[in-house]
Amino acid sequence: MTDEQVLIPRHVAVIMDGNGRWAVERGLDREEGHRAGRHAARRFMRAAQARDIEAVSLYAFSTENWARPTPEVDALMELIETALLVELQELCRHGVRLKVSGRRWELPAPLQRALSNAEEATAANDDMILNLCVNYGGQVEITDAAKEIARLVAAGELQLDDIGPDMFGSYLYVPDLPPVDLLIRPGGDLRVSNFMLWQIAYAEFYPMTEYWPDFQPEHLDAAIAEYSRRQRRFGGLALDD
């Protein structure tokens, strides 16, 4: 492959990290960092759509984030709710369909309503999917799916031999997404932090040292350029091996 060839990933997932450090380094509250992170998410969405990416997944709140101080948790819940209300028209104008991954039933009622409202209002949009991960954890997603499958087996509605990877994947929160091709993590850490553990099986990992609020479209171009240079073998052999 020549350097000029650009491969567009179908599904890009982002661990939006570094909001707190971005704020603290500026003498601001951590909440300011999350607000700046929200605007970075908007820039990212626009850049992803302009590059014909089919689906993006954003890690907005993890099942572990409840351990943060209550004011920060409350601020995040409000921020996500407000973003959904404010950005809904924009999502519709750009043909973006919202999907939600996570234990949404444990979220505050106003946020649950905003999520459902945005899902319904964008249900017919087909230009790009935004999979918003809220109260999301990869381990609970997999165990929730396993529990549902176990329930169906116990009820005699499924046989053990029916269970396989494709079938299991259809019990995840948002089953009809393409697998994640590219996983971007700003903020300098080199770990996956319980994000989309099933879906990232063969994702290419792209860490960034910049904090998420500093995200610019050029970072996505750099990530795509790096992705295009990677040789994806999916456990097989390269074509020229």
- Looking at the DSSP assignment, which residues form a beta bridge with residue 56? 12, 130
For ligand FPP, which residue of 60, 115, 183, 208 counts as binding (CB under 6 A)? 60
The dihedral formed by the CA atoms of 125, 86, 59 and 26, expressed in degrees to the nearest 10 = 150
Using the minimum distance from each CB to ligand FPP, give the nearer residue, 58 or 196. Answer: 58
**Is position 83 an interface residue for ligand FPP (rule: CB under 6 A)?**
yes
**CA-based nearest residue to 30, from 82, 57, 65:** 65
Window 7-26: contact mask with ligand FPP (x via CB under 6 A): ---------xxxxxx-----
Is 34 an interacting residue with respect to ligand FPP (CB under 6 A)?
Answer: yes
Does 80 sit near ligand FPP (CB under 6 A)? yes
Residues 174-203 that bind ligand FPP (CB under 6 A): 187
- In this complex, which beta carbon is closest to ligand FPP, that of residue 22 or of residue 227? 22
Using the rule CB under 6 A, is 37 a contact of ligand FPP? yes
127 is catalytic: no
The yes or no reply on residue 38 touching ligand FPP (CB under 6 A) is yes
In the complex, minimum distance from the CB of residue 17 to ligand FPP, in angstroms, rounded to a whole number: 5
Token pair of 61, please?
């709140």
For ligand FPP, which residue of 47, 75, 79, 133 counts as binding (CB under 6 A)? 79
Q: Which run of H or of E encompasses 90?
A: helix 70-93
Q: Which of 29, 65, 117, 125 is the catalytic position?
A: 65
Catalytic residue among 17, 19, 131, 181: 17
Assess contact for 200 and 142: CB atoms under 8 A: no
Closer Cβ to ligand FPP, 96 or 145, answer by number: 96
Contacts for 66 with CB less than 8 Å, ≥ 6 apart: 73
Nearest to 16 by CA among 66, 71, 80: 80
Angle at 98 between CA 68 and CA 18, to 5 degrees: 35
168 touches 145 (CB < 8 A): yes
Q: Report in angstroms how near the CB of residue 134 gets to ligand FPP at its nearest.
A: 8
Unique residue bearing structure tokens 């028209």:
89
Verify binding: residue 102, ligand FPP, rule CB under 6 A.
no
17 is catalytic: yes
Shortest gap between Cβ of 233 and ligand FPP (angstroms)? 32
103 touches ligand FPP (CB under 6 A): no
- DSSP annotation string for 135-173: EE-HHHHHHHHHHHHHHHHHTTSS-GGG--HHHHHTTSS
Q: Give the catalytic positions in this structure.
A: 17, 65
Which residues here bind ligand FPP, judged by CB under 6 A? 16-21, 34, 37-38, 41, 58, 60, 65, 76, 79-80, 83, 187
